[in-house]
Structure formats: structure tokens, C-alpha cells
């Protein structure tokens, strides 16, 4: 149980285009989902917290207009990288929290974004 999927697993796009990444909890409902970014040989950095039915909360230094997050249902959150540039190339990972009151996060397999 507690499986999280991401789609696509990897994407290559041209500079200036927008890319949407989906995060789904497959066998449970997730009130809260998280989006992380990971550069090569570095740790995971939290970008934003996504709560179903409300606006996402962004971490300091993360541009909310560039990284649009939508959490329209209890099983789906999307991250849209708008007007992507080469410096946005990274590994984007989502996680989902099982139920209210539980801290454990279950992570998706990640999406590799390459902006040319």
C-alpha cells in the first residue's frame, strides 16, 4: 500500500515552454502532498506544500508564479513549470501524507526534467 506515482518519468522541453508533472496517490487519499526539487549530488529541497482544495504554501525563494501547483482532488496534485529555462532542469519528486495526524510521507519515483 501507500504507492505514489508520477507522470511523466522524464521530459525534455524547449526553453520557454511549460511542463506539467502529475503526482498521484494510487491506493490512498492524500490530504497533503509535497513537491521537492533535487539537483545532481544534492539533497531534496522542499518547494511547496499542497493541500487539497486550497492554495499551495511555497517555501522561501520558490517563485509561486513559476511553479504552479494544483491539488484538485485527494489523489492528484500537479506541478506546472512555466516558461521553463535550462536552470529549471532538475529531478522533481512529490510525496504524499497518508492521513491527518500522520507524519510519514510516501515518495513518488521522481520526474527528470531537462530544459534545452
Partner 1 sequence: GESVGLHLPTLSVQEGDNSIINCAYSNSASDYFIWYKQESGKGPQFIIDIRSNMDKRQGQRVTVLLNKTVKHLSLQIAATQPGDSAVYFCAENMKGTYKYIFGTGTRLKVLA
The footprint of partner 1 (CB under 8 A) covers 4, 6, 32, 34, 41-46, 49, 91, 93, 95, 97, 103-110, 112
Using the minimum distance from each CB to partner 1, give the nearer residue, 82 or 107: 107
Scan for cell 491539488, then name that residue.
71
In 3D, which of 3, 7, 37, 19 has the Cα closest to residue 85?
Answer: 19
Q: What DSSP string describes 71-100?
A: EEETTEEEEEE-S--GGG-EEEEEEEE-ST
CB 86 within 8 A of CB 94: no
Nearest distance in Å: CB 19, partner 1: 18
Using the minimum distance from each CB to partner 1, give the nearer residue, 50 or 75: 50
Nearest distance in Å: CB 86, partner 1: 18
Using the minimum distance from each CB to partner 1, give the nearer residue, 7 or 82: 7
Nearest distance in Å: CB 56, partner 1: 13
Q: What is the DSSP letter of 37?
A: E
Amino acid at each position: 500500500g501507500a504507492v505514489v506515482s508520477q507522470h511523466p518519468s522524464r521530459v525534455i522541453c524547449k526553453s520557454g515552454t511549460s511542463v506539467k508533472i502529475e503526482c498521484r496517490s494510487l491506493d490512498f487519499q492524500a490530504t497533503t502532498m509535497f513537491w521537492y526539487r533535487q539537483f545532481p549530488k544534492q539533497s531534496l529541497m522542499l518547494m511547496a506544500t499542497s493541500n487539497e482544495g486550497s492554495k499551495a504554501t511555497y517555501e522561501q525563494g520558490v517563485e509561486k508564479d513559476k511553479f504552479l501547483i494544483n491539488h484538485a482532488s485527494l489523489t492528484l496534485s500537479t506541478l506546472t513549470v512555466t516558461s521553463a529555462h535550462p536552470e529549471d532542469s532538475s529531478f522533481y519528486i512529490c510525496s504524499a501524507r497518508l492521513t491527518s495526524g500522520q507524519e510519514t510521507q510516501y515518495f513518488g519515483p521522481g520526474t527528470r526534467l531537462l530544459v534545452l
